[in-house]
Amino acid sequence: MKNIAMAGAGLSCAVIARKLAEKGHKITIFESRNHIGGNCHTERDDKTGVMIHVYGPHIFHTDNKEVWDFVNQYMEFKPYVNRVKSTTKGQVFSLPVNLHTINQFFNKTLSPNEARAFIEQQADMSITDPQSFEEQAMRFVGKDLYEAFFKGYTQKQWGIDPKNLPASILKRLPVRFNYDDNYFAHPYQGMPKDGYTKMIENILDHQNIEIRLNTPFVREQAVEFDHVFYSGTIDGYFNYEYGRLPYRTLDFKKKYAKGDFQGCAVMNYGDVSVPYTRISEHKYFSTWESFEDTVYFEEYSRSCEQEDTPYYPINLVGGNELIEKYRYKAAQEKNVTFVGRLGTYRYLDMDVTIAEALKVVGEF
Ligand SMILES: Cc1cc2nc3c(=O)[nH]c(=O)nc-3n(C[C@H](O)[C@H](O)[C@H](O)COP(=O)(O)OP(=O)(O)OC[C@H]3O[C@@H](n4cnc5c(N)ncnc54)[C@H](O)[C@@H]3O)c2cc1C
């Protein structure tokens, strides 16, 4: 039996804590915030009763059966398909860019094969080895679709010219030559019936797990434990010795409306003239419930300052030397494992977070 500390009560540490508690280890979880759940945290809105995704919309999707079985053990999942729209240049389009989007945007009635040939004509074939996000998009979809659906949105999201973002952000062909508007191509997709926080509460419900809310964990405490799993910021752990890693943060402007506001869960805004990236109307995330009125959030992205919540690590063309220095230092810490999106400084979807946490437990 080992005495183990977890820094953070998000998905990463919850999964690791549960698995190790079941093996008989004694787990103490430190969480700086006043709630568990990390950035997946959900709570009911006081005025409308809608289940709010407090740190931004979270849709569970995976192609990993083990992960899907794992989450279903702790919460019933309701069927949910993410269908996103985009308001761009005064019109509403379907995302991800699909045959409907192409036909509407170019005012055509193309078949899948015709559309494929048409988009190939649009694409900039002179780019043979795309390095940046912009080159990748120009190579795949050409100037018009790039400027309407990718350029402005990406500029607002990252605060950086897409010329300076790596091509890897846009990995696959971001276009479908059929009418499939299911945002995610994974076989398993759904929403936890009572929210993510309740699911994580169920994962943490074990006699060997003690949770201390409002209690940050600091490096000096590591000596008190046999092992530490740390899901806070890797630079924060080392007291920002080499400087701060760059992050984007989000501001959510909460608004109310009578009845319905936008008729869908997520509406992107592709134009740079609109300051927010998207609006999420959260009652559409729980379609099996009904509400008289509605609450929605305008989402603004900006550079993360000292007091802000870090959301997205920033990856630039050419990489980031600072993170390599911190990773080297982290590898020297004898009894500490850095996990999760902040501990490893990577954007991780929930399913990847869980898969990695299960792997970490196996290795431990
Ligand atoms: C806007 C947004 C939208 C997203 N949407 C999706 C989606 O639709 N689908 C999807 O699959 N994934 C989505 N994700 C990813 C998802 O949020 C992550 O996969 C998940 O939160 C990772 O869990 P984690 O435990 O690694 O980190 P976190 O959730 O960040 O948890 C870390 C916890 O550690 C705490 N902590 C930090 N430092 C300390 C310390 N020193 N001491 C004590 N506690 C500490 C923090 O307060 C936090 O509670 C989204 C992420 C963002 C930012």
Q: Summarize pLDDT for 292-330 with one digit per residue, the tens.
A: 999 999 999 999 999 999 999 988 777 689 999 999 999
Report the candidate in 120, 346, 94 with the shortest Cα–Cα distance to residue 112: 120
Beta-strand (E) ranges in 187-226?
188-192, 209-212
| Band of residue 173 on the pLDDT scale cut at 50, 70, 90 | low
Atom index in ligand 1 nearest the CA of residue 58 equals: 8
Q: What is the model's pLDDT at position 170?
A: 78
- What domains appear along the chain, each with residue ranges and CATH number? 3-82+187-247+306-363 (3.40.50.720), 97-169 (1.10.3110)
| Band of residue 236 on the pLDDT scale cut at 50, 70, 90 | very high
Any ligand 1 atom below 6 A from CB of 217: yes
* pLDDT tens digits along 20-34: 999 999 999 999 999
Q: What is the model's pLDDT at position 128?
A: 87
Report the candidate in 188, 191, 196 with the shortest Cα–Cα distance to residue 11: 196
Kind plus residue range of the DSSP H or E element containing 256: strand 247-257
* pLDDT tens digits along 243-286: 999 999 999 999 999 999 999 999 999 999 999 999 999 999 99
Any ligand 1 atom below 6 A from CB of 192: no
349 flagged as catalytic: yes
* pLDDT tens digits along 191-231: 999 999 999 999 999 999 999 999 999 999 999 999 999 99
**Per-residue pLDDT for 172 more than 80?**
no
Neighbours of 159 (CB within 10 A): 13
Model pTM?
A: 0.96
What does R_g of the chain's alpha carbons equal in angstroms? 22
Query: What whole-number distance in Å separates Cα of residue 162 and Cα of residue 49?
Result: 39
248 flagged as catalytic: yes
Angle between helices 65-74 and 350-363 (to 10 degrees): 100
Q: Which of 309, 338, 350, 356 to mutate to test the pocket of ligand 1 (most atoms within 8 A of CB)?
A: 350
Any ligand 1 atom below 6 A from CB of 310: no
320 CA to centre of ligand 1 in angstroms: 21
Any ligand 1 atom below 6 A from CB of 238: no
331 CA to centre of ligand 1 in angstroms: 22
- Least confident residue range of 129-133, 153-157, 360-364: 129-133
Kind plus residue range of the DSSP H or E element containing 20: helix 11-22
Average pLDDT, the chain: 95
Q: Which of 36, 231, 249, 278 to mutate to test the pocket of ligand 1 (most atoms within 8 A of CB)?
A: 231
Atom index in ligand 1 nearest the CA of residue 352 equals: 19
* pLDDT tens digits along 98-148: 999 999 999 999 999 999 999 999 998 888 888 899 999 998 899 999 999
